[in-house]
A and B are shown apart, each in its own frame.
Chain A
Amino acid sequence: MKANAANATALATVASAPPGRSLWSDARRRLISNRAAMAALVLLTLMVALILVGPMFSPWTYDYIDFDGDWRAPPQVEGLHLFGTDQLGRDLFVRTLVGGRISLMVGIVATLVSLLIGVTYGAVAGYFGGRIDNMMMRAVDILYALPFMFLVILLMVVFGRHLVLIFVAIGAINWLDMARIVRGQTLALKNREFVMAARASGVSNARIIRRHIVPNLLGVVAVYVTLTIPHVILVESFLSFLGLGVQEPATSWGALVNDGARDMEAAPWALAFPAAFLALTLFCFNFIGDGLRDALDPKDR
């Protein structure tokens, strides 16, 4: 079903192109030839794999406190503290990877929340148009100007730290951009022949949005999602850095960077490894997002 709708767009946009080149295969070809994006994709895959399976191969757990005095041990192969230990003697290799799980999970879940709200809102506003669109987008304009970062901090202060609250708060910030982008695309899509055909054959509005509009938005949405995930990871790290994110002994990259920064003269590795993982992940996502945008950008075609 998705493929059919995508083919319809491809036919409508590149009617003069040689046959057998759909929008998606075209985009895939461009993406594969983008060396920076592919390198980022490989690196990111490796890091995610390490984050998922790495802790299983270490004899340590993320919350094991060493009372025998193995505090601030530098990175070493013997004792299997590959990234060293922190001021409590906890193994930083495992903590960095487990913190990565939290950071990535927040990034993905909160992005999905914003995706769900943003696509629904934007598609409805764009599809119905007129006064409904006007009102819905005016509301977005007003919300857009709010200093959300400060409100999220306020939220965490007032209601206490809670992982679900982080998802909701961050997701609630990011849907605005998504709604704007999706609305713009929907406005262009809704006058296309295949939408008219669907309407003429009596398909309901909800079904048209779900089956004909949304599948055709996947390109823009994919680009936006890859650029939102690093942003969300950054916001979560920011909160954790301020001491408002996840709670000890659970951890995330932001919390680890915070701990490491406090202790950086005695144990610079406690700052270096989490900071490097965080920066590399953001770097990879940004490169992949840029590559995807270049691959799918209709202006370029």
Chain B
Amino acid sequence: MVRLALIRLASAIPTLLLLIALAFFMMRAAPGGPFDSERVLPPEVQAQLEQAYHLDEPMWKQLARYIGGVLQGDLGPSFQYTDFTVKELILQGLPVSMQVGLTAMLLALLVGCFAGTVAALRQNSLTDHLVMGLAMTGMSVPVFVVAPLLILLFAVGLGLLPAGGWQGGGLRDMALPVTALALPQIAILARLMRGSMIEVLNSNYIRTARAKGLPTRSVILRHALRPALMPVLSYLGPAVAGILTGSVVIEQIFGIPGIGRYFVQAAINRDYTLVMGVVVFYGTLIIAFNFLVDLLYGLLDPRVRAS
């Protein structure tokens, strides 16, 4: 198990460093710099400033400094919101983003796995075709189409829920954004779960469990569910990435004060440090999560541990 952890870590760390390096070099390639302003600075002041921010050092030293800074949680100052550092802005948005993202993730897992299992149990029935048809629709309708449609239906049409905004993050604030964010993931998870459940249900030990007269419910819950959940587990990494990416759009559409909305604003305003900071932050989150999922996978599946 320790060996597995070390092997996984050996691939997670270069990924992280590569991400930071890519962000660093793109930042350098970006037109403009932190000291650009209307006023032309005297060359001495410019030199002083560059020295203060270590911009006069060789490139590799700057990169090392940037990596060191990121590892200590220092993502630099924001170009746009000059009174804040990027770290402060991210920490400000984090609780709201986490609340929406985690709820969507949980909802997607519960509904997706349930729908997939139901479809697998009634393979090729009307229910199965219905669930899979809906799942295919869910996969084909992008998040940014679902969200306006939900607003049109529930906020503009029926007037049941607010079209956007964030008043303390109650259920009413959360309902539409979380649904829009979870729907595509529900679709993918349902398809995945159906496939793996059908495979498990055709295996010999399930036939044995049924032959000894166990009721369907305990066959599913006690014997089939755990192995069938393994592919779902390995999809969790991409699912988290999908939810984070989707949240960028969802927070923008619903006006939720999370990290995603900063990201879009920063991208439009060319606030390079903030964009970069969010990429590094989300990237680290995704990489760390993938690492954890890999470990969990090894913990749950003895075959992975052995190889």
In contact, A158 and B30 (Cβ under 8 angstroms): yes
- In the complex, what residues of A have CB within 8 A of residue B249's CB? 238, 241-242
In contact, B15 and A146 (Cβ under 8 angstroms): yes
- In the complex, what residues of B have CB within 8 A of residue A151's CB? 19, 22, 279
Q: State the CA gap A209–B245 with chains docked (Å).
A: 38
In contact, B15 and A150 (Cβ under 8 angstroms): no
Q: State the CA gap A202–B283 with chains docked (Å).
A: 48
Residue of A with least CB distance to B29:
A158
Query: In the complex where A147-B19, A149-B245 touch, is A260 in contact with B148 (Cβ < 8 A)?
Result: yes
- In the complex, what residues of B have CB within 8 A of residue A230's CB? 140
**A264 CB within 8 Å of chain B:** yes
Q: State the CA gap A254–B148 with chains docked (Å).
A: 13
In contact, B11 and A142 (Cβ under 8 angstroms): yes
In contact, B145 and A275 (Cβ under 8 angstroms): yes
Query: In the complex where A146-B15, A242-B248, A271-B148 touch, is A157 in contact with B241 (Cβ < 8 A)?
Result: no
**B35 CB within 8 Å of chain A:** no
In contact, B272 and A157 (Cβ under 8 angstroms): yes
A254 → chain B closest CB, angstroms: 7
Interface residue stretch chosen among B36-44, B87-95, B226-234, B263-271: B263-271
In contact, A279 and B145 (Cβ under 8 angstroms): yes
In contact, A283 and B283 (Cβ under 8 angstroms): no
The contact string, 1 if C-beta is below 8 Å from chain A, for chain B 221-263, is: 0000000000000000000010011001100110000000001
**A159 CB within 8 Å of chain B:** yes
In contact, B144 and A261 (Cβ under 8 angstroms): yes
Query: In the complex where A150-B283, A153-B267, A154-B23 touch, is A283 in contact with B142 (Cβ < 8 A)?
Result: no
Query: In the complex where A142-B15, A282-B140 touch, is A147 in contact with B283 (Cβ < 8 A)?
Result: yes
A238 → chain B closest CB, angstroms: 7
Pick the contact of B264 from A149, A242, A257, A268 — CB < 8 Å?
A: A242
**A120 CB within 8 Å of chain B:** no
How many residues of chain B have a CB within 8 Å of chain A? 48
**A286 CB within 8 Å of chain B:** yes
B101 → chain A closest CB, angstroms: 14
In contact, B287 and A145 (Cβ under 8 angstroms): yes
- In the complex, what residues of B have CB within 8 A of residue A279's CB? 137, 140-142, 145
- In the complex, what residues of A have CB within 8 A of residue B140's CB? 230, 279-280, 282-283, 286
Residue of A with least CB distance to B290:
A145
Pick the contact of B26 from A155, A238, A261, A287 — CB < 8 Å?
A: A155
Residue of B with least CB distance to A231:
B139
- In the complex, what residues of A have CB within 8 A of residue B6's CB? none
**B98 CB within 8 Å of chain A:** no
**B113 CB within 8 Å of chain A:** no
B24 → chain A closest CB, angstroms: 11
In contact, B152 and A150 (Cβ under 8 angstroms): no
Query: In the complex where A145-B15, A145-B287, A150-B282 touch, is A237 in contact with B245 (Cβ < 8 A)?
Result: no
- In the complex, what residues of B have CB within 8 A of residue A261's CB? 144, 147-148, 253
Q: State the CA gap A177–B136 with chains docked (Å).
A: 21
**A244 CB within 8 Å of chain B:** yes
**B108 CB within 8 Å of chain A:** no
Q: State the CA gap A283–B137 with chains docked (Å).
A: 7
In contact, B11 and A254 (Cβ under 8 angstroms): no
In contact, A278 and B22 (Cβ under 8 angstroms): no
Query: In the complex where A149-B245, A150-B282, A238-B142 touch, is A264 in contact with B29 (Cβ < 8 A)?
Result: no
Query: In the complex where A230-B140, A271-B148, A279-B140 touch, is A141 in contact with B275 (Cβ < 8 A)?
Result: no
B133 → chain A closest CB, angstroms: 9
In contact, B286 and A145 (Cβ under 8 angstroms): yes
In contact, A264 and B152 (Cβ under 8 angstroms): yes
**B1 CB within 8 Å of chain A:** no
**A8 CB within 8 Å of chain B:** no
B93 → chain A closest CB, angstroms: 15
**B18 CB within 8 Å of chain A:** yes
Query: In the complex where A142-B14, A146-B283, A153-B267 touch, is A234 in contact with B152 (Cβ < 8 A)?
Result: no
- 3 smallest CB-CB distances across A and B, nearest first, come from A282-B140, A261-B148, A283-B140
19 contacts between A and B (CB under 8 A): A145-B286, A147-B283, A150-B283, A151-B19, A154-B26, A154-B275, A154-B279, A157-B267, A237-B142, A238-B142, A238-B249, A241-B144, A241-B249, A242-B252, A261-B147, A261-B148, A278-B142, A283-B136, A283-B137
